[in-house]
């Protein structure tokens, strides 16, 4: 058996086209163009590519974008001043601080400084709390993208055993919270694995849906996957032989029922959901 591919690139193009139509309707009705301001500190090549892709996606969807590029040596106080200016700018609806930040920056303080109504990454404690309570303002982009992949590929979550490998604040934790919520896209039985999990392979083999987000190239192998399982690979690792996910794609594809590729899987969906959140933010800020 060879797993069928869940094509995130094609699905994200469909969603971005939907967002472009909604954005055009919103702008025609209100005269307001949604605007996303990205803050990119320093000159990390990977972050630069990612932010450029976000800007291109904004342009195609009819969303304005700003790019602020303070130097790598910026202080926390200087960066907070920039965030404050963007918070107070009525033409900016979404503020995105590209991670990781340089070591001298207090990352938590910076993320908490973003106005929750402009926090399109959904990292602010207020937005995380709303997510936990089941009344989110924004859904975190990568977990939301994964939910859309499952929904639009008719992969049910209700009653499914879902294993999430990784407990990061960006993917693992919010992914688990979303999947355990009541209603569409939720109602799953969720297990979260991490570096202290005993007999990890036994746990991952129990998964009907396996979501891997640990940042270790090709870590999950065929022996760790239940035959016919859905495997979502969130990893994006730069290796000497090119980009690789957290899943050994070649081996796992022979066992799984469906699988996401890297690249072309979860990554494009994350950007599509960022556009969705920016439009949502503009709607919330426009009376």
Beta pairing partners, 192: 164
Helix (H) or strand (E) segment spanning residue 242: strand 242-244
Q: What whole-number distance in Å separates Cα of residue 143 and Cα of residue 17?
A: 20
Q: What whole-number distance in Å separates Cα of residue 72 and Cα of residue 132?
A: 34
Residue 162 zone, left/alpha/beta (φ > 0; ψ -120 to 50; rest): beta
- Cα dihedral sign, 196-199-205-207: negative
Residue 122 Cα distances to 105, 142, 156, angstroms = 20, 10, 25
Q: What whole-number distance in Å separates Cα of residue 202 and Cα of residue 224?
A: 7
Other CB atoms within a 10 A radius of the CB of residue 194 amount to 13
- Catalytic entry in 115, 119, 121, 248: 121
- Catalytic entry in 54, 118, 173, 226: 54
173 is catalytic: no
Q: What whole-number distance in Å separates Cα of residue 172 and Cα of residue 40?
A: 24
Looking from the CA of 81 toward its CB, the CA atoms found within 13 Å total 6
148 is catalytic: no
Helix or strand or coil: residue 250?
helix
Q: What whole-number distance in Å separates Cα of residue 35 and Cα of residue 71?
A: 23
121 is catalytic: yes
Other CB atoms within a 10 A radius of the CB of residue 124 amount to 20
- Catalytic entry in 98, 148, 208, 246: 98
For the annotated catalytic residues, the residue numbers are: 54, 98, 121
């Amino acid at each position: 058996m060879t797993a069928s591919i869940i094509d995130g690139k094609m699905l994200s193009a469909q969603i971005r086209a939907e967002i472009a139509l909604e954005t055009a309707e919103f702008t025609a009705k209100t005269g307001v163009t949604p605007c996303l301001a990205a803050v990119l500190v320093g000159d990390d090549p990977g972050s630069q590519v990612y932010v450029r892709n976000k800007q291109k996606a904004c342009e195609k969807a009819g969303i304005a974008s700003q790019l602020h590029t303070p130097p790598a040596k910026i202080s926390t106080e200087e960066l907070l001043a920039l965030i404050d200016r963007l918070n107070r700018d009525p033409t900016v609806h979404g503020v995105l601080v590209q991670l990781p930040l340089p070591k001298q920056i207090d990352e938590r303080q910076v993320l908490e400084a973003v106005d929750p109504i402009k926090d399109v990454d959904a990292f602010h404690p207020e937005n995380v709390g709303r997510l936990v309570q089941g009344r989110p303002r924004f859904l975190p982009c990568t977990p939301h993208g994964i939910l859309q992949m499952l929904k639009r590929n008719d992969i049910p979550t209700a009653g499914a055993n879902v294993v999430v490998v990784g407990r990061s604040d960006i993917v693992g934790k919010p992914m688990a919270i979303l999947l355990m919520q009541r209603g569409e896209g939720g109602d799953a039985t969720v297990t979260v694995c991490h570096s202290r999990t005993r007999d990890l392979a036994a746990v991952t083999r129990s998964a009907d849906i396996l979501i891997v987000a640990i940042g270790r190239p090709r870590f999950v192998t065929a022996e760790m996957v239940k035959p016919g399982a859905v495997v979502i690979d969130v990893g994006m690792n730069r290796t000497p032989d090119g980009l690789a996910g957290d899943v050994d794609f070649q081996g796992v594809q022979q066992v799984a029922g469906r699988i996401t590729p890297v690249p072309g899987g979860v990554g494009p969906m994350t950007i599509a959901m960022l556009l969705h959140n920016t439009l949502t933010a503009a709607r919330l800020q426009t009376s």
